[in-house]
Structure 1
Amino acid sequence: MATKPLNIQETSIPGLVLLDLPVHGDNRGWFKENWQREKMVGLGLPDFGPVQNNISFNDAAGATRGIHAEPWDKYVSVATGRIFGAWVDLRQGNTFGTVFTAELGPDTAIFVPRGVGNSYQTLEDDTAYVYLVNAHWSAEAQSEYTFLNLADPTAAIPWPIPLEQAERSGKDLAHPELPDVVPMAPKRTLVLGANGQLGRALREVIPDADFAARDRIDLADPTAFDGVRWADYDTVINAAAYTKVDEAETESGRTDAWAANVAGVSRLARAATEHGLTLVHVSSDYVFDGTHESASELQPFSPLGVYGQTKAAGDAVVATVPRHYVVRTSWVIGEGGNFVRTMRSLAERSIDPSVVDDQIGRLSFTQDIAAGIAHLLRTRPDYGTYNLTNAGPSVSWADIARRVFELAGHDPHRVSGVSTADYFAGKEAAPRPLRSTLSLDKITATGFEPRDAETALVAYLADA
């Protein structure tokens, strides 16, 4: 039996991919690798993680089924016989209604993304139609199907066997025509920590996401995810965390920090893995000890305190998720209480602060962090860890305080510098890294250029 190399080709419907399958035969029959994850993913097929294998056997030529758009991805092939397949894009968007047709036999397969209507007509007797799906069938899931009539005049599918001569089910005969079809909505992004500084900024760049605050999903609660319908989402952004750096050093704070930043993140990572989600997890410069002038994504963890230890442990857990982005940032400034707002308030109230001058780093404005996350999700560079702060020279907290005073119209010399050791003398406080500058080479290589921190600070104070 003649064979051809494994090959994939795009179609007129985005995400619908046709495959040529090598079939090896001799006097006994033939053999093929019907689904070969490593080879097919290597050629560009999505790593869609099938969990169920179904077979539809058709006695006679002319059996016609569809058009069904299902809430999962499927990989369709033929074990015996041949079919004429027709696929119609029934997803929201500008390709809604696009049609693609092809004949499939044992040497051909097709990947059908969620929301693309699938239908076929058997061209030979005893045709076995085989498909893998990446979600388990349930009555609840069936209620989310979208249907199109096989005879829809807009799609105008050229069935080889006229439909009036074909075998169809009563249900398929009753499906709506294209003007009456409700398009299948895309999966959504779930954002945890919706009311935090970053969560509020993410509302501006991903307005259609589902935003969950702590009163709805609390990472520290072992049952927090029990009611979540993961099938509704393709991405989760974890902007929630225990961030009380000093309280984390106490007995109760230590427990709370580990509960949210490690145990909660572990449960989230498990869910993301099981459901094939992309997990974006926000990390911190506190995973390092501050002994390097500029920390790259490859630098080993070396946290000084409990908070940093829990963030490092959470990062390690997230790294096990097949589709993950760890976004590491530092010195976060956004909507709500923060260092910049505090310094401006002190300036306006004629209070002259002492601010540490031996901790060096860069500010990270939530507007830029959110934009960077949106960029990663839009462009999909290699999964992994990406440092994401504002750009520009490294400065101290005292330098920033003086600049805030100056921009607010006050004398910057009112801010006096003090060492970290002297500032925290006699106080119960967590150790802090003295250098928090993160290298931005990796994120900029993806095409994202964070704003200069000085530029961002001026704009922030103008708007605040």
Structure 2
Amino acid sequence: MSPTDLALETTTIPGLLVVRLPVHGDARGWFKENWQRQKMTALGLPDFGPVQNNVSYNATRGATRGIHAEPWDKYVAVATGRVFAAWVDLREGDSFGATFWIEIDESVAVFVPRGVGNSYQALEDGTTYSYLVNDHFVAGRTYPALHLGDETAAVPWPIPLADAEISAKDRANPRLADVTPMKPRRTLILGARGQLGRALRAYFPDADLADLAAGDTGNTEAGDVAALDLTDPEAVAAWPWQEYAVVLNAAAYTAVDVAETPEGRATCWAANAVAPATLARIATEHRLTLVHVSSDYVFDGTVALHGETEAYAPLGVYGQSKAAGDIAVAITPRHYLLRTSWVIGEGANFVRTMQRLAASGVSPTVVDDQLGRLTFTSELARAVRHLLDVDAPFGTYNVTGGGEVLSWAAYAARVFELSGRDGGDVAPISTAEYAAGREVAPRPRHSALDLAKIEATGFVVRDAVEQLGEYLSPGRAPA
């Protein structure tokens, strides 16, 4: 027996990988590194996070285990003897019904992705094989299964099935035409009733919907919105996280001024820091991709253009809570943290307020020394969809509208012009003048974000002023 180089091979089933293992032997027997995370992931094996190791023993040659598809990933290897292993893709999609088979001895292991049906036939007496899985087995669950003799799959069993030892349950499994394919893991939108949550629904129409607050869970125009209280350990433990691939966290506490009050401070931190930390832990445990939206308020606004790597320097409670949430989210491996500013969606917002004032004949005063770009929720949702679709590297990305950096007063004047009023009817005022006599939270003076990183992924940033015109077009009624 001579060692070979560790190698990874693809197969006819997407995601099913064959691992060639070096085996070192002498007169005493042999040794192999059956699972070596660092070396194998470097070759391209998914870092699938196994949590359970199972061992299966077949006493006699010909013992055959049926074609079962489980909702977890599996890494299969032989400890003693040999098996003929066959796989049939039972996942929903174009590869449904694809097949692959191979003989496994001590020098071969196979990575089996979730939803691919697997079966094993012992070729020697006393065969033992082991497998790692990345979710815990729960008795009583039923999953897709296929008849061993299915004519479409046409698996060439070395030992005819008539001569094999097969359980009664496996003999009763359906043919491929009668199998219900396993659906892919789903997407969950948290904060589904908010401005961003509603925009995300358009780009993720099949997503499950939830709000972080308990109660108020009836029907909406876009479907049922469940309640998920992330401050309740029992509610978190009961949620079926294993059924999700992506969690989009669009929930946040955004009452910047109220966050400075005793009653607002705790609520702000619970939503903006504690909830993201809980989601980050869950994402790590269940290998989810977590998408989280942050804010320019994590900076103090002393530089004109903020990059993704700028040090945190929040001025107030809201910014501090968002920075804490960012730090927590950044710990989970599979995360997209989208930092944005001046968000405008459907519902009450700055643009709708200015539009209403213009229609009412009011001439407002608006601060002119806070500078940034508007971000429309439709564009923010489009950026989320883009990052997931192109499989962009995980990390932090700035996302706002593009174009000229303007003040709030300049945007207000533009809203007035688009509403048929003179932009000069908007009177500029400094932040200090506006805040005089009021209890307001500190705000960054410069909120513009550098967009080069997300543009490098192929995302085309649209001009914020152009989007403002579309948002206020006559065909769109104020929300």
Q: TM class, shorter-chain normalised?
A: over 0.9
Distance 2:342 2:234 in 1: 31
Match 2:464 to one of 450, 453, 461: 453
Q: Which amino acid aligns with 1:149?
A: H
Does residue 194 of the first structure (1) align with residue 192 of the second (2)?
yes
> Runs ≥4 in structure 1, deviation > 6 angstroms?
none
Match 1:234 to one of 218, 231, 245: 245
For residue 109 of structure 1, give the secondary structure of its aligned residue in structure 2.
strand
Q: Please name the residue that 1:342 is paired with.
A: 353
Distance 2:437 2:360 in 1: 27
Comparing 297-306 and 82-91, the one that deviates more: 82-91
Match 1:249 to one of 247, 250, 260: 260
Contact kept? 1:221, 1:264, Cα under 8 Å: no
Q: CA deviation at 1:114?
A: 0.7
Distance 2:130 2:144 in 1: 21
Distance 2:85 2:299 in 1: 55
* Gap regions ≥5 residues in structure 1: none
Q: Please name the residue that 2:420 is paired with.
A: 409
- TM-score for both structures, normalised by structure 2: 0.94
Matches within 5 A, 1:271-350: 271-350=282-361
Distance 1:455 1:222 in 2: 45
Deviations 1:323-373 (A, max 9, x none): 111111111011111111111111111111111111111111111111111
Distance 1:136 1:175 in 2: 24
Q: Please name the residue that 1:62 is paired with.
A: 62
Does residue 361 of the first structure (1) align with residue 359 of the second (2)?
no
Deviations 1:181-209 (A, max 9, x none): 01111111111100001100110001111
Distance 1:346 1:224 in 2: 43
Contact kept? 1:235, 1:279, Cα under 8 Å: yes
For residue 139 of structure 1, give the secondary structure of its aligned residue in structure 2.
coil
Q: Which amino acid aligns with 1:349?
A: S
Distance 1:459 1:416 in 2: 24
- TM-score for both structures, normalised by structure 1: 0.97
Matches within 5 A, 1:28-427: 28-140=28-140, 142-143=141-142, 145-213=143-211, 214=213, 215=215, 216-221=227-232, 223-427=234-438
Distance 2:233 2:364 in 1: 42
Q: CA deviation at 1:379?
A: 2.2
Q: Which amino acid aligns with 2:249?
A: N
Does residue 22 of the first structure (1) align with residue 33 of the second (2)?
no
Distance 1:346 1:45 in 2: 59
Comparing 263-272 and 393-402, the one that deviates more: 263-272
Deviations 1:27-62 (A, max 9, x none): 322111111111111111111100000011112221
- CA separation of 1:407/1:395 partners in 2, compared to 1, >3 Å: closer, same or farther? same
Comparing 398-407 and 170-179, the one that deviates more: 398-407
* Gap regions ≥5 residues in structure 2: 216-226
Distance 2:68 2:332 in 1: 31
CA RMSD of aligned residues (A): 1.3
Q: Quick one: percent identity of the two aligned structures? A: 61
Contact kept? 1:220, 1:256, Cα under 8 Å: no
Distance 1:259 1:222 in 2: 14
